Structure 1
Amino acid sequence: MSYKLLKLNSGNTIPSIGLGCYDIPLNQTVKVVYEACKVGYRHFDTAVLYGNEQEVINGISQFLSENPSVPRSEFFYTTKIWNSQQGAKQTQNAIEKMLSQIDQGNLQYIDLLLLHSPLPGKTKRLESYGVMQEYVEKGKIKNIGVSNYGQHHIEELLNWNKLKIKPSVNQIEISPWCMRQEIAQWCLKNDIQVEAYAPLTHGYKLEKQEPEFKKIMEKYNKSPAQILIKWSRQKGYIPLPKTKTLSRLQENIDIDDFELTKDEIEVIDQPDVHDPTDWECLDAP
């Protein structure tokens, strides 16, 4: 699999598909991540909330140790500051712990650190972002951004008089049944990449496809997951499909041998449906 790399507003690049590591059983995480590295994944998304940061680091580190010809720079490791860790001192403590986890592996730095949500409120989220900026300046974090942010949250940040580093990413739930077109297109127009989490709807929609969707699957001989991941990519997003099933790791990134037509994308689109499978906080104050 040859990864397409997308340019972030920081000047760095990000692989165009990542492995979402939410809810992978802790005793399987190292193996899943390691096997993902073997089949070609180079982008891994975890969070403090997921409780498996060290296991994700260890899986990547194991692969790097066994493959010294593969440079660390090929990999992209993302984690997130949880709500209870927002606020200046709390975020500093959280980042120091994250860096100690990195030191136990051989990743050396964090590629992307996100604020997991805007829910702690304006004061705390701006304090946290300020601390994140400081660690970018120290070279320990390469890129920073946000998750589950609505347009007004990002505008608040862009208008902040202490902003030094524009958020490079907004990670939000996106699928054909939760399209979030307005915020997604606004982010892209403002040079903020959109990461699409739960692009496979946590599996809820995979077995219940309409006949027209099934025709598209049959035409390209692809699974519903592959069609959904391709849909997300062609929309200009960075999908983060999650699987704990080793046999599906390869399948989920084998999407470069077909292109959906404009008409097929319109068939898959469900603009009149809003059915998120996860939390809803883009409208939070």
Structure 2
Amino acid sequence: MSLSLDSTIKLASGNLIPRLGFGVYQARSKECEDAVKKAIDTGYRHVDTAQAYHNEENVGRAIRNSGVPRPSVFLTSKYMPSHTVYSPTEVLDVVRKSLKKVDRCGDDKPYIDLMLIHAPWGGEEGRKNNWEALTIAQKEGWVKDIGVSNFGIHHLKALPPPVPAVNQIELHPFCQQRDIVKYCEEHGIAIEAYSPLVRANKKHYDNEVLVKVAKKYGKEVAQVLLRWSLQKGYIPLPKSVTPSRIESNADLYDFKLDQEDMAEIDGLDKGSEGAISWNPVNHE
């Protein structure tokens, strides 16, 4: 099946998640709202925010003002746990605050499509309490699907049922986290890729393989990175506040990387040394 901006992946619950997301990390206030509005106008239907980004309210307002019906926009947020162990009830109170902020989406009954635990902090007890809280939020209808972010294999194995719908991890050609990806694929966990553009790092964008492939297809390196992620079966979450970049990051569907190009890009993996973000997957 050919990919398009309308392409989706079916989660374990049966709910559909758009294949291309729009990230809003570090985007604040009106800048965030303008970027989300531009993304929706461009055709994105998946927005990824978090409590730690301090812009849930802006994202909610932008969705409400976009003119696109709330059910047509897939909204993800993330609960940021503490190193302190909190009870499920205490965690639920924090999740409820996110729900109130995105209530500006304007739906009759506010909800979040996907709520993630942002990091595996709090130890095994804390992770279990956090997960229990999210399962309650799901049963209450506050969130439709629940998942995790930055979880390693041992974190995933220790979680009680249900299996997370999603694991959002740093993922790009230079940091492919193949063991975690394999585990998630084997257990029906969809994989979201944050930092799929390697934060536009010049060293990576000058990589001879990426430059050669981009030239071959008449595309930008950023577009090659995102197309690679899509063809790997991931859900990339590019972030930008620049209108032209928001558009170009969605212009991915008039070319397809051939097997040789995919293999050559796969060969750029540097393991953990290729990570550009904090890497909590080894956290106990």
- TM category, shorter: over 0.9
The equivalent residue for 2:77 is 79
Match of 2:121 in 1: 119
Could you tell me whether the CA contact under 8 Å between 2:5 and 2:44 is conserved in 1?
no
Q: Which position in structure 2 is the counterpart of 1:20?
A: 23
CA–CA distance in 2 between the matches of 1:169 and 1:35? 26
- Partner of 1:77, secondary structure, is strand
Of residues 267-276 and 131-140 in structure 1, the stretch that sits farther from structure 2 once superposed is: 267-276
Which of 42, 55, 58 is residue 55 of structure 1 equivalent to? 58
Aligned pair in 2 of structure 1 residues 209, 268: CA closer, same or farther (>3 Å)?
A: farther
Match of 1:30 among 33, 36, 60: 33
Matched, 1:254 2:251: yes
More displaced 10-residue stretch of structure 1: 226-235 or 26-35? 26-35
CA contact (8 A) 1:200 1:206 kept: no
| Aligned counterparts of 1:128 and 1:150: Cα–Cα separation in 2 | 16
Report the alpha carbon displacement of residue 272 of structure 1 after superposing the two structures with TM: 3.6
Q: Please give the alpha-carbon distance, in whole angstroms, between the structure 2 residues aligned to 1:150 and 1:202.
A: 22
Aligned equivalents of 2:135, 2:12: Cα separation in 1: 14
- What is the CA distance between 1:206 and its match in structure 2? 6.8
In structure 2, which of residues 225, 228, 238 is the aligned counterpart of residue 228 of structure 1? 225
Kindly provide the amino acid, as one letter, of the partner of residue 181 in structure 2: A
CA RMSD of aligned residues (A): 1.6
Task: Flag the 1:16–1:208 CA change in 2: closer, same or farther, 3 A.
Answer: closer
Unaligned runs of 5+ in 2: none
Corresponding letter in the other structure for 1:20 = G
**1:211 partnered with 2:208:** yes
- After TM superposition, list the pairs within 5 Å mapping 1:128-147 onto structure 2: 128-147=130-149
Aligned-pair distance for 1:35? 1.0
**C-alpha distance in 1 between matches for 2:22 and 2:213:** 24
The superposition leaves residues 224-252 of structure 1 with CA deviations (integer Å, 9 ceiling, x where unpaired) of 11000001111110000111111111110
What's 1:67 paired with?
Answer: none
The answer as to 2:169 corresponding to 1:172 is yes
Q: Which one of 183, 188, 197 corresponds to residue 186 of structure 1?
A: 183
Q: Give yes or no for contact 1:193–1:237 (8 Å, CA) kept in 2.
A: yes
Deviation of the 1:205 alpha carbon: 4.3
State the alpha-carbon separation in 2 of the partners of residues 118 and 105 from structure 1.
Answer: 29
* 1: CA distance, partners of 2:129 / 2:209: 48
Q: How many residues align?
A: 275
Identify the residue that residue 267 of structure 1 maps to in structure 2.
Answer: 264
Matched, 1:90 2:93: no
State the 1:83 CA deviation: 2.0
Q: Is the Cα contact below 8 Å between 2:5 and 2:19 reproduced in 1?
A: no
- Distance in structure 2 (CA, Å) of the matches to 1:200 and 1:94: 31
Task: Report if aligned partners of 1:42, 1:76 keep a CA contact under 8 Å in 2.
Answer: yes
Task: Identify the residue that residue 155 of structure 1 maps to in structure 2.
Answer: 157
The one-letter amino acid paired with 2:79 is I
Matched, 1:104 2:104: yes
Percent identity over paired residues: 36
> TM (normalized to structure 1)?
0.92
Structure 1 residue runs of 5 or longer lacking an equivalent are 65-69
